[in-house]
Structure 1
Amino acid sequence: MATFKIEGGHKLSGNITPQGAKNEALQVICAVLLTADKITISNIPNIRDVNKLIYILSELGVKVNKTSDNTYTFQADTLDLNYLESEKFKKEGSSLRGSIMIVGPLLARFGKGYIPRPGGDKIGRRRLDTHFEGFIKLGATFRYNKNEQFYGVEAVKLTGTDMLLDEASVTGTANIVMAAVMAEGVTTIYNAACEPYLQQLCKMLNSMGAKIDGVGSNLLTIKGVEKLTGCTHRILPDMIEIGSLIGMAAMTKSSITIKDVSWKDLGLIPRVFQKLGIKLERKGDDIFIPEQQNYEIQNFIDGSILTISDAPWPGFTPDLLSIVLVVATQAKGSVLIHQKMFESRLFFVDKLIDMGAKVILCDPHRATVIGMNHESSLKATTMTSPDIRAGISLLIAALSANGTSTIHNIEQIDRGYQNIDGRLKAIGAKITRI
Structure 2
Amino acid sequence: MNAFEINGGKPLRGEIIPQGAKNEALQVISAVLLTEEQVIISNVPDIKDVNKLIELLGDLGVRVEHLKKDTYSFQAKDIDLDFFMSEQFKAKGGSLRGSIMIVGPLLARFGKASIPKPGGDKIGRRRLDTHFLGFEKLGAKFNYNSKTNFFNVDASHLKGAYILLDEASVTGTANVIMAAVLAKGITTIYNAACEPYIQQLCKMLNRMGAKISGIGSNLLNIEGVEKLGGTEHRLLPDMIEIGSFIGLAAMTGSEITIKDVHYNELGIIPDIFKRMGIRLKLRGDDIYIPSQPHYEIDTFIDGSILTVADAPWPGFTPDLLSIVLVVATQAKGNVMIHQKMFESRLFFVDKLIDMGAQIILCDPHRATVMGLDKQVQLRGIEMTSPDIRAGVSLLIAALSASGRSIIHNIEQIERGYQDIDIRLRALGADIKRINTMPKQH
- Please indicate the TM-score interval, normalised by the length of the shorter structure: over 0.9
- What is the Cα deviation at residue 144 of structure 1? 1.2
**Separation in 2, partners of 1:112, 1:15:** 47
Alignment partner, residue 142 of structure 1: 142
List runs of 5+ in structure 2 lacking aligned partners: 435-441
**Separation in 2, partners of 1:231, 1:260:** 23
Answering whether residue 10 of structure 2 is matched by residue 48 of structure 1, we say: no
- What is the Cα deviation at residue 113 of structure 1? 1.1
SS at 1:72 equivalent: strand
- Give the TM-score normalised by structure 1: 1.00
Answering whether residue 312 of structure 2 is matched by residue 312 of structure 1, we say: yes
- What is the Cα deviation at residue 393 of structure 1? 0.2
| Letter aligned with residue 389 of structure 1 | R
RMSD: 0.4
* 1:53-132 aligned within 5 A: 53-132=53-132
- What is the Cα deviation at residue 152 of structure 1? 1.4
Alignment partner, residue 254 of structure 2: 254
Alignment partner, residue 439 of structure 2: none
- What is the Cα deviation at residue 283 of structure 1? 0.4
**Separation in 2, partners of 1:327, 1:152:** 44
Deviations 1:262-306 (A, max 9, x none): 001000000000000000100010000000000000000000000
**Separation in 2, partners of 1:36, 1:296:** 54
**Separation in 1, partners of 2:245, 2:155:** 45
| Letter aligned with residue 203 of structure 1 | K
SS at 1:245 equivalent: helix
Deviations 1:314-355 (A, max 9, x none): 000000000000000000000000000000000000000000
* 1:1-40 aligned within 5 A: 1-40=1-40
- What is the Cα deviation at residue 250 of structure 1? 0.2
- What is the Cα deviation at residue 174 of structure 1? 0.3
Alignment partner, residue 225 of structure 1: 225
SS at 1:135 equivalent: helix
**Separation in 1, partners of 2:152, 2:129:** 13
| Letter aligned with residue 142 of structure 1 | F
Alignment partner, residue 345 of structure 1: 345
SS at 1:182 equivalent: coil
Alignment partner, residue 271 of structure 2: 271
**Separation in 2, partners of 1:387, 1:393:** 10
| Letter aligned with residue 340 of structure 2 | K
Deviations 1:331-388 (A, max 9, x none): 0000000000000000000000000000000000000000000000000000000000
**Separation in 2, partners of 1:236, 1:52:** 20
**Separation in 1, partners of 2:422, 2:391:** 16
**Separation in 2, partners of 1:108, 1:233:** 21
| Letter aligned with residue 148 of structure 1 | T
**Separation in 2, partners of 1:148, 1:331:** 49
Alignment partner, residue 161 of structure 1: 161
SS at 2:300 equivalent: coil
**Separation in 2, partners of 1:120, 1:241:** 19
**Separation in 2, partners of 1:268, 1:334:** 20
**Separation in 2, partners of 1:146, 1:370:** 45
**Separation in 2, partners of 1:100, 1:183:** 19
**Separation in 2, partners of 1:136, 1:50:** 28
**Separation in 2, partners of 1:351, 1:152:** 41
**Separation in 1, partners of 2:317, 2:364:** 18
Alignment partner, residue 184 of structure 2: 184
| Letter aligned with residue 174 of structure 1 | A
**Separation in 2, partners of 1:118, 1:36:** 26
Alignment partner, residue 360 of structure 2: 360
| Letter aligned with residue 253 of structure 1 | G
**Separation in 1, partners of 2:260, 2:108:** 35
| Percentage of pairs with the same residue | 71
**Separation in 2, partners of 1:57, 1:163:** 29
Structure 1 window deviating more from structure 2 (206-215 vs 152-161): it is 152-161
Q: Would you say how many aligned residue pairs link Structure 1 and Structure 2?
A: 434
Alignment partner, residue 438 of structure 2: none
SS at 1:406 equivalent: strand
**Separation in 1, partners of 2:63, 2:156:** 27
Answering whether residue 289 of structure 2 is matched by residue 289 of structure 1, we say: yes
**Separation in 2, partners of 1:202, 1:11:** 41
- What is the Cα deviation at residue 114 of structure 1? 1.0
| Letter aligned with residue 352 of structure 2 | L
**Separation in 2, partners of 1:113, 1:287:** 43
Alignment partner, residue 411 of structure 2: 411
Structure 1 window deviating more from structure 2 (311-320 vs 10-19): it is 10-19
**Separation in 2, partners of 1:193, 1:377:** 40
